[in-house]
Amino acid sequence: MASPAQAWGPIGHRITGAIAQENLSGMARANVRILLGAEDLAEAATWPDDMKSDPAEFWKKTASPWHYVTVREGDAYKPSDAPPEGDALTALARFTATLRDPQASQEDRRTALRFIVHIIGDLHQPLHAGGGDDRGGNTVKVTWFGNATNLHSVWDSGLIEQRSLSYSEYAGWLSRAITPEQVVQWNERDPAVWVRESIALRKTIYPADPALSWDYAYQHRKEVDDRLERAGIRIAAYLNWIFDNPAPALRPARRK
């Protein structure tokens, strides 16, 4: 299976959250503020990873598989790919239902919102749509500018941190580069599409030479930026859909 390690390090997740924050509709922005208060989506995006240090079984075991998917055959996710403990797509569906449920508690909806932001980011990291043979690149040993690591870590954080930018600087650079046409083109809420894109990219990123440095960083820089940009736009699109099209409130049963 792919590794439960975080997809995108904290900087990457904050970048996707910051881009999403700028692209929320008025209704979505208001609902996010109601649920999160002063916390914005850049801060919320890292919460499910931050909570992995909590000793509770929920964080150590139950929620661990919800950061990735494994597609063992073909290039498209199938419901049968989900293991009994669930994966990122089953968790996304469950948290979406909670966030849209007018009867759910504020705390449950707040948790659901944070997970949705995080999971959409996860699914845009190509090694979090693994093929089930190398734990999402964790067993692929490489060096990154001379330091021993693995391919998963390079894509989680190495390629991003190599730019030496804060998350706000990086997000600002990317946001200014996103065109209105791209916002329209990337306004895709189907997670199966995100997974297919990640699988297609994953197949191209395994290096022939395990000694990675400037050449590898240059080769994949545009791809990393593209996945971060798309994730941010799609987080916003997904939340806009949820909050602009709320589920109808349950009506009380009529008395006979």
Please give the torsion angle defined by the CA atoms of residues 161, 166, 171 and 177, in that order, rounded to the nearest 10 degrees.
Answer: -80
pTM, to two decimals: 0.92
Instruction: Assess if residue 57 is contained within a domain.
Output: yes
Query: pLDDT, tens digit, for every residue of 21-76?
Result: 999 999 999 999 999 999 999 999 999 999 998 999 999 899 999 999 999 888 89
Instruction: Assess if residue 146 is contained within a domain.
Output: yes
Instruction: Assess if residue 249 is contained within a domain.
Output: no
- For residue 69, report the phi and psi dihedrals to the nearest 5 degrees: -130, 155
What are the beta bridge partners of residue 69? 129
The single-letter code of the amino acid at 213 is S
For the chain, give the mean pLDDT.
93
What are the beta bridge partners of residue 142? 149
User: By residue range, what is the domain housing residue 99?
Assistant: 10-244
Q: How high is the pLDDT of residue 25?
A: 97
Query: pLDDT, tens digit, for every residue of 119-135?
Result: 999 999 999 999 988 99
Q: How many folded domains does the chain comprise?
A: 1
CATH number at residue 155: 1.10.575.10
Instruction: Assess if residue 253 is contained within a domain.
Output: no
Instruction: Assess if residue 127 is contained within a domain.
Output: yes
Instruction: Assess if residue 5 is contained within a domain.
Output: no
The answer to whether residue 205 scores a pLDDT higher than 80 is yes
